[in-house]
Amino acid sequence: MSFSSLTLIAACAIGALATPVLYDGRAPLNYTSSNIDAFQSPYTYVVKGSEAASKYQQPSSDSTMVS
């Protein structure tokens, strides 16, 4: 493995560790903050903090997003 490959892997690992919230983008685009705060099957949100989930994640209104 070359030095540049190791550098890339290290940068990705550090970036992943520094990210406080992981979101994979599978929630529908019409979700609102109230949907995020209330458990609605099949989606569930887990946050590390004392606030509601919608404080840490805002639904996107961008319908051009590609999943």
The residues near 63 (Cβ < 8 Å, ≥ 6 apart) are 29
Identify the residue whose tokens are 């209104």: 61
Domain ranges of the chain: 22-61
Residue 40, number of CB atoms within 10 A of its CB: 13
pTM for the model: 0.37
Q: Is the pLDDT of residue 64 over 60?
A: no
pLDDT digits (tens, 9 = 90+) for 6-62: 787 777 666 655 556 555 566 666 777 787 777 767 766 677 778 887 787 766 655
Question: Under 8 Å CB-to-CB from 33, ≥6 apart: which residues?
Answer: 54, 58, 59
